[in-house]
Structure 1
Amino acid sequence: MFRSALVILPAVLLMAGCGAEQTSDDPPTIGFVSQNTSRDFSKEMSEGFRAGAAISGGVRTETTGPDTHDGLKQAALLRDLATRAKGGIGLSAVAPELVAEPMAQVVEQGVPVIAVAGGQVAPGSGVHLLIENDNYELGRVLADAVVERLSADSAGKIVIGSNSPAMPALDLRSLGLRERLAERLPKLQVIGPLDTGRDLGANLNTWRRLADANPDAVALLGAGDVDAINLAAVHAEKSASWLAGAFSLDAKALQGVKDGHLFATVSAEHFLKGAVAGWLLAEHAKGRPLPEGWMVSPGLLVQASNVDEVVRRQATEESRLAAARPKIDELIGSADHVRPLDQAR
């Protein structure tokens, strides 16, 4: 059970903060600011946050976020939410450096803030807990899946694209991809990461151009969710022989795996990260200290062998929560998943 799991958390895990004041007539409000309200991955984090808070109980929740990736709008929404969510706020930063100052201001007001995803915590933010994947390692996971499908002496090109260059999480995925491919397939030329664009239509056209411009490519790999959707579409359009893979749990990406147009997609398990944040903040609002550091959340490689299971898991919020609960228990129950904040990658 969740409550018992945190009780056994080893004392070596650094703790910070104190519980928010509350009365039985006025349960505290906790909140979450997502990167956007339009993309599947961001919706999953918000849903997870609400689910995790509901497991703990005793709090109200409010989730918000800009319609699209907009760091300045996100900062304004954070300041506004802090006037109501006195019990604590989780924030998934579009650009960590843009929200560092408003995060620090909210923390100074006595509202605890957790960073959820975003790749890193910007210096000066005043935030001491990050719930995030090891994105560099996720890049290596996808690279190893590529290597399993190619011979050691394979020649040609691998093209890497990113729909959000300069976003820390995606940059780290791309770096892990590049370095692992260079290590294991030294005869291949690895190009990128190239900017494929966040807009769905522009991203599709970019991947079409990259496929046409690199007829000797053995793989086209994307670092983001939009990349996954459109790589599947381009692979189908061209009846391509090159491998296509990226990072997404969007329904179209999962269908791409089922249809054989994506050989793999990596899930950053955003629902899980949101759920852990919601549970921790709900417990903190009732008096339990927050841990400090980088809480390393696992990812999941989705391939033909497990895609049907993942599709079933993703069918409803209830099925996602049922699958996530053992992982939440594991994350909050052991210091083994917490590293120093400055090691986040």
Structure 2
Amino acid sequence: MSLVLGLGGCTLRRVASHPAVGFLTADEGMGYVREMTMGYATTVADAGGVEHTEAGPPIGDTAQQAGMLADLHRESRDGIAVFTWNPELLAAPMAATGAAGTPVISVYSPPAPGSDVGLYIGNDNYTMGEMLADQIGALLPPDTIGTVVLGTSVPGAQALDERIAGLRSRLPVVRPGVRLLGPFDTKQDPAGNMKSWELLVGANSTAVAFVGTGDSDARNLARLRGQATRSWVGAGFGLDDIALRAVGHGDYALVSPEPFVQGAIAGWLQAEQVKGNLTLPTGWIPTPAIAVTPQNAPALLARQSSTKQRAESARVVVQEIVTHLGDHLRPLADAR
């Protein structure tokens, strides 16, 4: 039986019966969060006999998340996974949730020290920045001289800052003639993000590339690249269908953070923990990213056509990680 509760523009979806786990997210209306949520819900459902609840504000409202965490805790006493852009602001309620006996996992964004969360599931964002830099370099001629404009949709968010750091470290190595400008605040809201990039593209008429860190950046830069009357390279992180198709045009670089896998690992671990089959490990589980190319973009588009195909594609990756956790765990302090 399914129950949907309105929470001031948010949703709280309850499925099945006790025992119960839950996933609190930021940006529920965004594509990458839907991917995480699908991964989480699908894996918990596959485990059988475990209730799962997913909740989150439409766009990263941390104050709203704090209230929703209390509501979610009442529904999901056996385990909660949390994705927030502001771990420091949620640290106290997350610590209180853990102190009440409910294990808490951080997903996508590393936990703040004050949260007392011992397990984080997320990308090596610095390495992803390097990956994207290599792809951008492959699209720019070796003798390129010019400006690369950087934008970030959530300034100050550790995960996105690490992507910028990786880009800054690697891109001048592969293309020494470029100068990096920014990052500028491009906003998380899709409409505000588009307006930000329109202004940045208009104000930097000779830039050789425009690069964003978030889901909205990837989609909107791909749209603007398709409308452009002059040549420049667009680049971002995500799995948006417009961005995936743009890669095939030869002037767009993309790295997928694979958020479905992150949600699936969190869901599997929590379901198995609730069923008494394991104790949650401590540390950082780095999750793989995919460099999108003209060769693999069609297969990724096909995979994204259904939850079933996403789950089938993710299963091998998830199984490898959860079966050999000791080989994949890294110290939480190394998370980046």
Pick 1 or 2: higher relative contact order, CA cutoff 8 A, min separation 6: 1
What is the SS of the residue equivalent to 2:177?
coil
What residue in structure 1 maps to residue 7 of structure 2?
A: none
**Aligned mate of 1:51, from 25, 42, 49:** 42
Distance 1:234 1:263 in 2: 11
Deviation at 1:262, TM superposition (A): 5.4
Q: Structure 2: which amino acid aligns with 1:189?
A: R
Contact residue 263 and residue 303 of structure 1 kept, 8 A: no
> Given that residues 56 and 65 in structure 2 are in contact (C-alpha distance below 8 angstroms), is that contact kept between their aligned partners in structure 1?
yes
Instruction: Name the SS for the 1:291 alignment partner.
Output: coil
Aligned to 1:251: 241
Cα drift, residue 32 of structure 1? 0.5
Preserved CA contact (<8 Å) 2:17 2:49: no
Structure 1 residue 168 displacement after superposition: 1.2
Matched, 1:265 2:246: no
Give the SS at the match of 1:164.
coil
Q: How big is each residue's C-alpha offset from its partner over 1:162-219, in whole Å with a ceiling of 9 and x where there is no partner?
A: 1111111111111111111122222211111111112222222221222222222111
Q: Indicate the residue corresponding to 2:29 in structure 1.
A: 38
Q: Out of 75, 78, 97, which is 1:84 matched to?
A: 75
Query: Deviation of residue 306 (structure 1)?
Result: 0.9
Whether the 8 Å contact between 2:250 and 2:294 is mirrored in structure 1 is no
Whether 2:323 is the aligned partner of 1:338: answer no
Aligned with 2:295 (options 285, 298, 305): 305
1:106 aligned to which of 97, 105, 116: 97
The yes-or-no answer on 1:229 pairing with 2:229 is no
Q: Which residue of 2 aligns with 1:168?
A: 158
CA–CA separation in structure 2 for the residues paired with 1:198 and 1:84: 29
**1:141 maps to amino acid:** M
Match of 2:41, SS state, is helix
User: Which deviations, in whole Å up to 9, do the C-alpha atoms of 1:8-48 show, x marking residues without a partner?
Assistant: xxxxxxxxxxxxxxxxx963001001112200001111111
Moved more, 262-271 or 296-305: 262-271
Q: Contact 2:59 / 2:189 at 8 angstroms: preserved in 1? A: no
TM superposition shift of 1:228: 1.0
What aligned pairs does 1:174-253 form with structure 2 within 5 A after superposition? 174-253=164-243
Moved more, 274-283 or 158-167: 158-167
Corresponding residue for residue 28 of structure 1:
19
Separation in structure 2 between the aligned mates of residue 245 and residue 329 of structure 1, nearest angstrom: 31
* 8 A Cα contact 1:232 1:262, kept in partner: no
Corresponding residue for residue 126 of structure 2: 136
> Does the 8 A contact of 2:222 with 2:252 survive in 1?
no
Does residue 316 (structure 1) correspond to residue 335 (structure 2)? The answer is no
Once superposed, what is the RMSD of the aligned Cα atoms?
1.5
Secondary structure of the structure 1 residue equivalent to 2:23: strand
Unaligned stretches of 5+ residues in structure 2: 1-15
Identity of counterpart residues, as a percentage? 40
Tell me, in whole angstroms, the C-alpha distance in 1 between the residues paired with 2:315 and 2:104: 23
SS of 1:75's partner is: helix
Partner-residue secondary structure (3-state), 1:315:
coil
TM-score (norm 2): 0.91
- Partner residue, 1:17: none
Q: Structure 1 residue 73: deviation in Å?
A: 0.8
Distance in 2 of aligned mates of 1:164 and 1:252: 21
SS in 2 for 1:160: strand
Give the distance between the partners of 1:332 and 1:96, measured in 2 at CA.
Answer: 25
Identify unmatched segments of 5+ residues in structure 1. 1-24
